[in-house]
Amino acid sequence: MPSKVAIVAGTRPEIIKTSPLIKELESRGADYFLIYTGQHYNYEMEKVFFEQLSLPTPRYNLGIRSSAPFLQGEHTGRMLIDIEKIILDEKPGIVLTQGDTNSTLAGSLTTRKLATTAPFTNINVMLGHVEAGLRSYDRTMPEEANRIIADHLSDFLFAPTQRAADNMLKEGIHRSRISVTGNTIVDALNDAVKTSSRNEILDKLGLDRGYVLATFHRQENADVREKFSNVMGAFGRVHNKFGKPVVYPVHPRSRKLMERFDIVPPEGVVLIDPIGFMEFLKLEQEASLILTDSGGVQEESCVLRVPCVTLRENTERPETIDVGANILAGTDPDKIVECADIMMERKRNWENPFGDGKSSKKIVDIILR
Ligand code: UD1
Ligand code: UDP
């Protein structure tokens, strides 16, 4: 009988991307539980996803919020302490972390450390990292440190693509630890498109199909006044050039910074609160173009065949560029408008590089074996 599985998650994208794993474990009657760190906590950043994805309430919700986004050590440290207690108590055979957040780092580090304490604790725990091997090679991003550490600590590495697997091989990680499984986001999208007929969101916002959808929240972008105001100006120029509204569901981090920087949206830029996954998926599907600095949104636009302009100088998802779904613009307004022009014309006939929607099945097969 397979041993107990613990899943660690704490943010919007982790809830979405672990949801197919949770469903797969449930459907096999596996012994598993979820530790939710509480990194994201507003209703529209947390609970709405548990509701829409029909996920069970986490066995543990640690309620650990970041008191200030720059206090990364305090944030991660409090998670380490609480996750350690749970692992000691529950004694799972494997802990799974996903992605590249502080919750990923804390779950990975605690597990690895505990795995060395067997003589005292009788803990025999392994570590698996889902969405392993992504690299932006940009050391200014907190996510890059988190994903490198998680990969190097893990016993099982679930790479979404061969390219991600190759990144890890180049760093000396042994091939026996790596499996190419695709990305669980494809599983989540396949499931969600069956139920997502929520045209209400378009009606509610008074939108016709073909608008531009935008998101912007990354620390290295949104925290810099000049970049944020440049990008907001570029959104206004995209509206003027194409005569389409630019709809921007604003992440709480960005909302706070907009207020601090006194950034006022130009005409044609429609700011809304963050929305549920089903509504966001609908907004992605009906958009003519997506402007984003999100990792997950780059993947989704690629899978859904909606052209994407990435508001960053680099990406850890280069597969999206290789297939022609995405282009890097950075935060320079001229470049953003130029790239929007290119991508508006892009033929939507590229292949999805992120797998066949059976990633969670492959991952669960491996860990239960
Ligand atoms: C985190 C991840 C980032 C991921 C993003 C997904 C890290 C280092 N960063 O960034 O990789 O892309 O989640 O969205 O783990 N806040 C709220 N309500 C919430 C959540 C956040 O008000 O529900 C505010 C708080 O002021 C908080 C700030 O946003 O201090 C930043 O939140 P934090 O979780 O530290 O980072 P994110 O920017 O969300
Ligand atoms: N998303 C959502 N509502 C929103 C914005 C995004 O449901 O208002 C979803 C989106 O579909 C994707 C995920 O959130 O699955 C991306 O999260 P985010 O951009 O916060 O994080 P990243 O992927 O950059 O780590």
**What's 225's domain CATH number?**
3.40.50.2000
| Any ligand 2 atom below 6 A from CB of 142 | no
What beta strand segments (E) does the chain contain?
Answer: 5-9, 32-36, 60-61, 94-98, 126-130, 156-159, 178-180, 212-215, 246-249, 269-272, 289-292, 308-310, 326-328
Could you give the CA distance from residue 271 to residue 95 in angstroms, rounded to a whole number? Answer: 38
Confidence (pLDDT) at 1: 42
Ligand of minimum distance to the alpha carbon of 72: 1
Residues 210, 158 share a domain: no
Three-state DSSP state, 270: strand
Q: 201 in a domain, yes or no? A: yes
Q: 350 in a domain, yes or no? A: no
What are 135's two structure tokens?
């690299």
Could you give the CA distance from residue 291 to residue 285 in angstroms, rounded to a whole number? Answer: 14
Residues 201, 162 share a domain: no
Confidence (pLDDT) at 194: 83
Residues 229, 147 share a domain: no
Distances (CA, A) of 354 to 87, 189, 195: 32, 12, 21
Q: 78 alpha carbon to ligand 1 midpoint, in Å?
A: 16
H-state helical runs in 172-264: 184-195, 200-205, 219-222, 225-242, 252-261
| Atom number in ligand 2 closest to CA 100 | 25
| Atom number in ligand 2 closest to CA 284 | 11
**What is the span of the domain harbouring residue 122?**
5-183+355-368
Q: 334 in a domain, yes or no? A: yes
Q: 270 in a domain, yes or no? A: yes
- Rounded to two decimals, the pTM is 0.98
Q: 39 alpha carbon to ligand 1 midpoint, in Å?
A: 7
Q: 205 in a domain, yes or no? A: yes
Q: 278 alpha carbon to ligand 1 midpoint, in Å?
A: 21
| Any ligand 2 atom below 6 A from CB of 274 | yes
Q: 349 in a domain, yes or no? A: no
Q: 1 alpha carbon to ligand 2 midpoint, in Å?
A: 36
Confidence (pLDDT) at 283: 97
Q: 272 alpha carbon to ligand 2 midpoint, in Å?
A: 14
Q: Does residue 217 have an active-site annotation?
A: yes
| Any ligand 1 atom below 6 A from CB of 11 | yes
- pLDDT tens, the chain, 369 aa long: 458 999 999 999 999 999 999 999 999 999 999 999 999 999 999 999 999 999 999 999 999 998 887 898 999 999 999 999 999 999 999 999 999 999 999 999 999 999 999 999 999 999 999 999 999 999 999 999 999 999 999 999 999 999 999 999 999 999 999 999 999 999 999 999 887 665 789 999 999 999 999 999 999 999 999 999 999 999 999 999 999 999 999 999 999 999 999 999 999 999 999 999 999 999 999 999 999 999 999 999 999 999 999 999 999 999 999 999 999 999 999 999 999 999 999 999 999 999 999 999 999 999 998
| Edge-first strand listing for the sheet containing 156-159 | 60-61, 32-36, 5-9, 94-98, 126-130, 156-159, 178-180
Beta carbons within 10 angstroms of residue 44's beta carbon:
15
Which protein residue has the closest C-alpha to ligand 1 atom 5?
Answer: 11
| Any ligand 2 atom below 6 A from CB of 215 | yes
| Any ligand 1 atom below 6 A from CB of 44 | no
Residues 339, 206 share a domain: yes
Residue among 40, 75, 129, 217 flagged as catalytic? 217
Confidence (pLDDT) at 67: 82
Distance of CA 315 to the CA centre of its chain: 13
Which protein residue has the closest C-alpha to ligand 1 atom 13?
Answer: 11
Q: 188 in a domain, yes or no? A: no
Provide the number of structural domains found in the chain.
2
Mutate to test the pocket of ligand 1, among 36, 79, 253 (most ligand atoms within 8 A of CB): 253
Residues 9, 132 share a domain: yes
Mutate to test the pocket of ligand 1, among 45, 50, 66 (most ligand atoms within 8 A of CB): 66
